[in-house]
Amino acid sequence: MTGKVMAGVATLEVKFEDKRIDGRSTFHVVGEGKSKGAFNFFYKVNDRFESYIDEEYLVPWLFIRNTHEGNYTVDDEVRFNQYSGNFSSHKANKKMKPGTHDIFSAFYYSRTLDFSNLKVGDRFPSNFLLDDSVYVSFIEFAGREELQTDLGKFRCLKFKPMVATGNVFSQPYPMEIWVSDDQNRIPILAKSAVVIGSVKLELTDYKGLANPVTSLIGNSK
């Protein structure tokens, strides 16, 4: 009904702070998402997520969630004990396997994997905690492509993560994600089919990367 609509803007930032949890040095990752313009009138979004991720092993020690989407609100804080294999939130205290991720640490950990010998159709597991439940997911490699964006043309690795079907997703592999085919693994583009249509997320800016962007092979539009 609405065609192509700019629904909102999201940011993802690593803050280098000297914060130690359970004796471990951590990266502080902050993700924010906000709806824009006319979209606020019928479904306002104001989300903030924070993850404190072990600098060496890239597993989480603390995850803070503040979700405000329309009439849906969730504020929670999850503490991971990677030594004993349990987590505690505002509503639960449960066992988990050591090495279990939150949604952000799973993303950053996946970026460190060696993809050089991947073949189309190869899958690797990604276990993460969400809403006090541990999900065993898989990410499928879908090949290499070149993408033209407003920032330029990038060589990309394409993946299809498995998600839980339900009120939002009607199939287990509805999403396609392209990340830069270099050491940065920047998320360039994501497309997803949802129950009522589709959404697209496109990278608009980046800075402070650890490595040269060797995947950029063409000028911007």
Mean pLDDT along residues 25-39: 91
- The per-residue pLDDT for range 110-150, each reduced to its tens digit, is 989 888 899 999 998 888 898 888 888 888 999 999 999 99
| Band (105; pLDDT cuts 50, 70, 90) | very high
pLDDT at 172 over 80: no
Residue 39 and residue 17 share a domain: yes
Residue 171 and residue 94 share a domain: no
Residue 220 and residue 116 share a domain: yes
Residue 165 and residue 89 share a domain: no
In the listed set 110, 144, 159, which residue is the last one of a domain according to the structure? 110
pTM of the model: 0.86
The total number of structural domains in the chain stands at 2
pLDDT at 169: 36
Residue 98 and residue 21 share a domain: yes
In the listed set 86, 110, 134, which residue is the last one of a domain according to the structure? 110
Q: How far apart are CA 150 and CA 164, in angstroms?
A: 31
Mean pLDDT along residues 68-81: 93
- Ranges 83-97, 101-115, 167-181: which has the least confidence: 167-181
Paired tokens of 83: 């030594």
Query: Domain residues for 194?
Result: 112-221
Residue 72 and residue 15 share a domain: yes
56 torsion bin: left (phi>0), alpha (psi -120 to 50), beta (else):
alpha
Residue 193 and residue 181 share a domain: yes
- Ranges 27-36, 108-117, 160-169: which has the least confidence: 160-169
In the listed set 84, 110, 136, which residue is the last one of a domain according to the structure? 110
Residue 141 and residue 215 share a domain: yes
Residue 195 and residue 146 share a domain: yes
pLDDT at 130: 84
- The per-residue pLDDT for range 6-15, each reduced to its tens digit, is 788 999 999 9
For 132-201, give the DSSP string.
TEEEEEEEEEEEEEEEEETTEEEEEEEEEE----SSS-SSSS-EEEEEESSTT--EEEEEEEETTEEEEE
- Across all residues in the chain, what is the average pLDDT? 87
